[in-house]
Structure formats: C-alpha cells, structure tokens
Amino acid sequence: MDQTPKDTPAGAKAPRLMEQVHAALAARHYSRRTVTAYRGWIRRYIRFHGKRHPREMGEPELTAFLSHLATVRRVSASTQNQALAGLLFLYQDVLRLEVPWLKDVVRAKRTHRIPVVLTPAEVKALLGALDGTPLLAAQLMYGTGMRLGEVMSLRIKDIDFGAREITVRCGKGAKDRRVPLPVRTAVALRAQVDRALRLHAEDLAVDAGYVELPYAMGVKNPAAARDPGWQWVFPATRTYIHEKSGEERRHHLHESHIQKKVAQARRKAGILKHAGCHTLRHSFATHLLERGADIRTIQELLGHNDVAVTMLYTHVLNKGGCGVLSPLDAGDF
C-alpha cells in the first residue's frame, strides 16, 4: 500500500510518520502536553499491533487497542478518551483518510467526581508548611486560580504590579485571560522577578540568556529571546543547549519540583485529603463562591469555556452534603 502523504512533491522523500504527526500538531499550535500525549498514544498503538502502519489498520485494531487499555491496563475513562483523541487526530488530520467508521467509535463515559477542596484553615496550614519559591507558587495558585503549569510559565512582561493583575498567556485551549495579583504576594513576587532578572544578566554576560519563544515569534523577532520581559518568572537552575539553534537557553522551573514540595507540606500539615497543586485551584473557586462571587466571574478567572464546568464547584460548597441541614442536626434528640 502506498504510504506517501498526498501532498508530498513528486520525487521527494516522504517524511516519516512521527515527523508528519509532529508537523501537524505544531501547525495547529497544540500545547506541549498535548503534543507529548498524542505522540505517545500513537506510538503505543503502533507497537501494540506489531509496528504495522496505521493505514493498514482500521476499526477492529482501534477497538482492540482501546479495549486493552480498559480491561488489561485498567486506565481511567479520561485516559482512554485521550488515547482515542490522539488516534482520531492521526487518522483524520495526519493521514487524512476517509474513515467513516470513526464516528461510530464509542467513547468511554467519564466518571463524575467532585473535586477535592481544602477548607480555609487547611489552606493556611498547607501554606504554613511551605517556604521560598514553592510557597510563592502555591500562593499564586490559590490566590489567582491559575494552574501549576500557568504559574511556572509566567513571563516577566505579563505581571503588572501597577494594575495589580497577571495576564495568563495561552492557557488551556490556547486562550489568554487576566487574573488579579494577590496583594499578599506582591513583595515576594517582585523579589522573584528581581532574582530572575539578575540571573538573566549573568546569562547575558556569558553570551547565553536565550529563552524559548511561542509560535513564530523567534522568526519574527529573534531579539525577543534575550529580552528581559520575555524571561520566565520562575527560571530553572540549569541551562541547556537548543539542538537546532545551538543557543544556550534557560527553561522555567519544572512543575514536579513544586508538586513534590506541596505533597511534603500536605503531610507535614497533617492534611489527610488527597490534595495536590490543582486542589488549590479548586479551593480558589469554591471559596470565592462561598463569599458570594458571581459564577460568570469565576468562569472567566478560571478560563472555562462552559459555565457548566464552573458550576461543578457549587456542589462542594462548605455547607454539608447538597447544602442542606441533616435531619439529625435539625431534630431534638
């Protein structure tokens, strides 16, 4: 079977499948996480079927792979649906095959789970068990509703101390939004920015100081890669050499560092709930609702497309199950 892409020029060498996948993902500006996830699932699918080319496979092979994930690997419904999304992308957007059977593929039903939320006292205890950069990152997650990845990828130019706001660039769904800069973090955040600028100055002194730029910014304005405003607020401690350009770059601090510190702080604070960094985002939304904030405002702050997603937090308000008074508490026993 001819496996050459339809738009490959005559006589040109066809790119390998994973190169096609990467190019298609890059052209659509998918996030780094989505790119990694989709590439991973496509590789697993191919290996599962003995490295056969996807053009040679169809509905039976796709169904067999998804069934294996559910029955043998026992993955969650969301993980199975992520695998399906990656494979749908492969067939529809990369191979551009006419596959009418894709519409009949059954998606796993996601389990309806109520998010874990900390009480204000638990948030205070958790923050009290942190210090330094992890403390500032946790305060920003709870104080703004930002995701951990959004905090770690903040650029210096996107913090406006005068207006007391932070601009979140390319959040989930490639959307920008603004969130309030918590007054309690202003001093520590300014100090963090100053540290990042000093580190950048040291990098420039040794002909380094480059940073990754979004999309085609590096082509349109290559000087921006060394501009102070484009530097990460939370830079990594080490630099790396970019393979294609040869530039010595500095990435932002890895998310796992904050995740480990928050997990340690939760245990130190004696919090028994299964809480992590994302719990602080859940707690931000729930505590705003408890204080009477408008659901639409919270939707915008969280960056949700659908208000129905934000409405989930109305089910976890600190009023007991379903917000009603238990008859055991109401009666005279």
Domains with residue ranges and CATH for the chain: 17-104 (1.10.150.130), 120-206+254-316 (1.10.443.10)
Residue 243 has a pLDDT of 85
73 has catalytic annotation:
no
Token pair listed for 271 = 């919090």
Residue 11 has a pLDDT of 47
* Catalytic pick among 155, 281, 282, 287: 281
The model's pTM: 0.78
38 has catalytic annotation:
no
Residue 245 has a pLDDT of 87
Q: Give the span between the Cα atoms of 65 and 86, in whole angstroms.
A: 13
304 has catalytic annotation:
yes
The stretches in the chain having pLDDT less than 70 are: 1-14, 102-108, 110-112, 171, 173-174, 315-333
Q: Give the span between the Cα atoms of 253 and 330, in whole angstroms.
A: 51
* Catalytic pick among 22, 172, 226, 257: 172
281 has catalytic annotation:
yes
Residue 244 has a pLDDT of 84
200 has catalytic annotation:
no
CB 110 within 8 Å of CB 77:
yes
H/E stretch holding 288 reads helix 277-290
Residue 219 has a pLDDT of 77
Token pair listed for 188 = 């520590």
Residue 111 has a pLDDT of 67
Q: Give the span between the Cα atoms of 90 and 228, in whole angstroms.
A: 39
Give which of 153, 154, 158, 120 is closest to 280, Cα–Cα.
Answer: 120
Radius of gyration over alpha carbons of the chain, in Å? 24
313 has catalytic annotation:
yes
Alpha helices (runs of H) in 49-172, residue ranges in sequence order: 59-71, 77-89, 120-128, 132-144, 148-152
* Catalytic pick among 142, 147, 250, 252: 147
